[in-house]
């Protein structure tokens, strides 16, 4: 029998005889590390059940639960292979426990605590603020949660992060889906970086190890910062101006990656490749270097007119000639890139900018050589799942992989929806590898049949079923545009 207190109770998988305050731990392989929460609602004087796991189910009174459900005076909970009977009894209810009781030990008042994240092994320390979203990577944040009176790690669908806890006997990292309440000493792994979460009294943090990144306003001599215009997993992009008022875009390696060797190698690769490329349909890069705080940067032209993603979000479906125009311009850039024996590997609407009304391809952070010997086999697959080719999910790329991604982007422009859509990258991978896309023509009344067939050929599952190269794609685009103009003159 378990006496439930009117407070948050986390439910998850644990080892035999393992205890953790505030948790109901179940030794059952069919229970997730963080399976569910029992949340106390004072206004209703009752609990509600919040299902957290994305892989293992929960049932209440025999019914499958996917999100949350209010609990009554008597419910049967099926968690893994275990069955619990929740029953309200007529006994005196104790008042809600204090934070000190919830944590299992006396703690100073919250106003006397400070919360930090330190980049491991000996990197800079950042003080966490309750009113802000503290970003660790794309879709990974540490936020203050007033309900639990603590910081929680939040991971959005499609993002990846793991958490290891000192109380775990083997310090085993577990993947986090949704959110997890952070405890003192927890280690969060995001991308290539590890951060240790600390809760301490002011003055107990070793401030000699703190190295906060400088404001980018004075990082490059002769340039001043205007505003932050973009942020990703690896970098931050600022609009900056020189003394004459000329605008540039400057991409810095993210501060939390200053000590990460693999991230620095990847950023250097992007800088080297970008500086070497000279083509009108590719972003113009002027300079690469090292800023005052030691961060590498890439300085390029500033293109303020938005991205293709902005146009798609605003308009939904784009006109046929607009689709053909972007397709032709990006195919030119890719033809040049492939001639240099390079594969972009991340063709998507947010990487397409506009210069004087013409499309420009940007972001060379994961460009690789096109031979199979340089393919990605590092345990994770580079790219953006909604636009990745089947072979890219399997860990290798070639020039026709870019063709697939371009085709997926054109499909979205013409149909107003993505080829495949799912919140889970694993589900997206299955769709791209195994599932046939919906035919384009029924979704696009009035669109040329030749254009629909061209795009469907570009997103064939097998590279051998696609066009032989970007020159052939460009030729098909030109033929379709010419045919449309010819028909219009009749």
Instruction: Assign 292 to helix, strand or coil.
Output: coil
Q: What are residue 86's DSSP bridge partners?
A: 75
Residues contacting 247, CB < 8 A, separation 6+? 226, 239, 240, 241, 302, 304
| Residues making up the chain, counted from first to last | 490
| Beta-strand pair 9-13/36-41 | antiparallel
Q: What are residue 355's DSSP bridge partners?
A: 358
Q: How far apart are CA 454 and CA 349, in angstroms?
A: 19
Q: How would DSSP label each residue in 317-337?
A: S--HHHHHHHHHHHHHHHHHH
18-to-15, 25, 31 alpha-carbon distances in Å? 5, 7, 15
The edge-to-edge listing of strands for the beta sheet with 285-290 is: 223-231, 235-242, 247-253, 296-301, 285-290
Q: How far apart are CA 415 and CA 102, in angstroms?
A: 52
Q: Which is the catalytic residue, given 186, 346, 363, 402? A: 346
By the 8 A CB rule, do 51 and 70 touch?
no
Q: How far apart are the first and last CA of the chain?
A: 83
- Element at 75 (helix H, strand E): strand 74-79
411-to-106, 313, 351, 423, 470 alpha-carbon distances in Å? 59, 14, 16, 19, 17
Residue in 478, 489, 432, 485 with CA at minimum distance from that of residue 451: 478
Residue in 241, 191, 195 with CA at minimum distance from that of residue 216: 241
By the 8 A CB rule, do 275 and 292 touch?
no
DSSP state of 467: -
H helices of 277-398, where?
Answer: 308-315, 320-339, 390-393
Q: What are residue 437's DSSP bridge partners?
A: none
Verify whether residue 346 is a known catalytic residue. Answer: yes
The gap from C-alpha 224 to its chain's centroid, in whole angstroms, comes to 30
Q: How far apart are CA 64 and CA 78, in angstroms?
A: 9
Q: How far apart are CA 157 and CA 176, in angstroms?
A: 10
Residue 38: CA count within 13 A, CB half-sphere: 24
The gap from C-alpha 164 to its chain's centroid, in whole angstroms, comes to 20
Catalytic residue numbers read 346
């Amino acid at each position: 029998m378990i006496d439930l207190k009117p407070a948050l109770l986390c439910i998850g998988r644990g080892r035999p005889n393992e205890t953790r305050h505030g948790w109901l731990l179940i030794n059952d392989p069919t229970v997730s590390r963080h399976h569910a929460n029992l949340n106390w609602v004072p206004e209703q004087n009752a609990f509600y059940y919040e299902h957290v796991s994305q892989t293992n189910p929960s049932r209440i009174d025999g019914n499958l639960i996917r999100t949350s459900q209010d609990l009554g005076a008597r419910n049967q909970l099926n968690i893994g292979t275990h069955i619990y009977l929740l029953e309200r009894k007529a006994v005196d209810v104790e008042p809600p426990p204090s934070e000190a009781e919830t944590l299992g030990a006396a703690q100073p008042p919250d106003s006397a605590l400070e919360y930090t994240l330190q980049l491991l092994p000996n990197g800079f320390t950042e003080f966490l603020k309750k009113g802000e979203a503290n970003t660790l990577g794309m879709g990974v944040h540490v936020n203050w949660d007033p309900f639990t009176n603590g910081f929680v790690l939040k991971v959005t669908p499609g993002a990846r992060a793991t958490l290891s806890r000192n109380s775990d006997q083997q310090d085993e990292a577990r993947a986090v889906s949704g959110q997890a309440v952070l405890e003192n000493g927890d280690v969060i792994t995001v991308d290539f970086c590890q951060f240790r979460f600390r809760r301490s009294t002011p003055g107990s943090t070793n401030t000699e190890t703190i190295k906060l990144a400088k404001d980018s306003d004075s990082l490059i001599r002769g340039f001043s910062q205007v505003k932050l215009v973009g942020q990703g997993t690896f970098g931050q992009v600022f609009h900056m101006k020189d003394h004459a008022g000329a605008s540039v875009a400057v991409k810095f390696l993210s501060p939390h990656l200053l000590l990460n060797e693999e991230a620095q190698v990847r950023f250097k690769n992007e800088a080297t490749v970008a500086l070497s490329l000279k083509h009108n349909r590719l972003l113009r890069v002027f300079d690469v270097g090292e800023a005052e705080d030691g961060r590498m940067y890439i300085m390029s032209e500033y293109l303020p007119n938005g991205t293709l993603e902005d146009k798609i979000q605003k308009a939904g479906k784009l006109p046929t000639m607009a689709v053909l125009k972007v397709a032709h311009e990006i195919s030119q850039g890719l033809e040049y890139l492939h001639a240099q024996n390079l594969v972009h590997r991340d063709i998507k609407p947010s990487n397409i900018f506009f210069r004087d009304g013409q499309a420009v391809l940007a972001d060379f952070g994961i460009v690789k050589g096109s031979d199979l010997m340089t393919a990605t086999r590092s345990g994770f697959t580079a790219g953006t799942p909604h636009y990745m080719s089947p072979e890219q999910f399997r860990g290798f790329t070639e020039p026709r992989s870019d063709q697939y991604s371009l085709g997926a982007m054109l499909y979205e422009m013409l149909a107003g929806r993505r080829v495949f859509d799912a919140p889970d990258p694993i589900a997206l991978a299955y769709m791209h590898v195994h599932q046939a896309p919906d035919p384009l023509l029924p979704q696009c009344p009035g669109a040329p049949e030749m254009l629909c067939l061209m795009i469907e050929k570009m997103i064939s599952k097998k590279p051998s079923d696609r066009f032989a190269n970007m020159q052939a794609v460009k030729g098909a685009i030109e033929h379709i545009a010419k045919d449309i103009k010819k028909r219009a003159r009749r």
